[in-house]
């Protein structure tokens, strides 16, 4: 196992929708293990495969502050089945370090996919876990949390992000 480099805003793969996982081979299992280690080392609550340069439709997450292994979720080919309610809460992103904004998300989210062994998986999350699900699903669809902001906030933050991550003079 090993940590992988987390790609930052501006990396093209972060804007591309990911592809369904079809092969649960050793390379994929290694990717999953590396993603878990990378998420914990960052430290973060979730990590999508494209954030470490993989086009696979998969994410790992653990909302527990103590990294309780029982709370670790590994979801392949996730689909957002149902959402309910609304919550506004500050979000950050491992691919946009040092930037945080309030984002409106569903309070409850239901995901379906498969686990790392190919078994069907259905998980419901509320509050923090629901936000993690939606944040990681956005990544898998080529979106960032900043894409959820109002047009005015998105414009202002976009200028800051461009200077921080894309401007070759900095």
Residues serving a catalytic function are 136
Looking at the DSSP bridge assignments, the partners of residue 143 are none
User: Number of helices and strands (H, E) in the chain?
Assistant: 3, 7
The secondary element (H helix, E strand) that includes residue 47 is strand 46-48
* Torsion of the alpha carbons at 95, 96, 98 and 100, rounded to the nearest 10: -120
Distances (CA, A) of 23 to 28, 56, 82: 7, 10, 27
């Amino acid at each position: 196992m090993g940590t992988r480099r987390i790609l930052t805003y501006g990396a093209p793969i972060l804007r591309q929708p990911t592809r369904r996982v079809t092969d649960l081979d050793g390379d994929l299992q290694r990717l999953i293990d590396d993603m878990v280690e990378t998420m914990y080392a960052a430290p973060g609550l979730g990590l999508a495969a494209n954030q470490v340069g993989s086009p696979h439709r998969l994410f790992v997450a653990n909302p527990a502050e103590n990294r309780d292994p029982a709370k670790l979720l590994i979801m392949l080919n996730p689909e957002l089945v149902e959402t309910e309610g609304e919550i506004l809460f500050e979000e950050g992103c491992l691919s946009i370090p040092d930037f945080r904004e309030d984002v409106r998300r569903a309070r409850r989210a239901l995901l379906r996919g498969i686990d790392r062994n190919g078994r069907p998986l259905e998980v419901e999350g509320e509050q923090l876990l629901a936000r993690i699900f939606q944040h990681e699903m956005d990544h898998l669809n080529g979106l960032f949390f900043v894409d959820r902001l109002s047009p005015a906030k998105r414009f202002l933050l976009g200028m800051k992000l461009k200077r921080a991550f894309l401007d070759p003079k900095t």
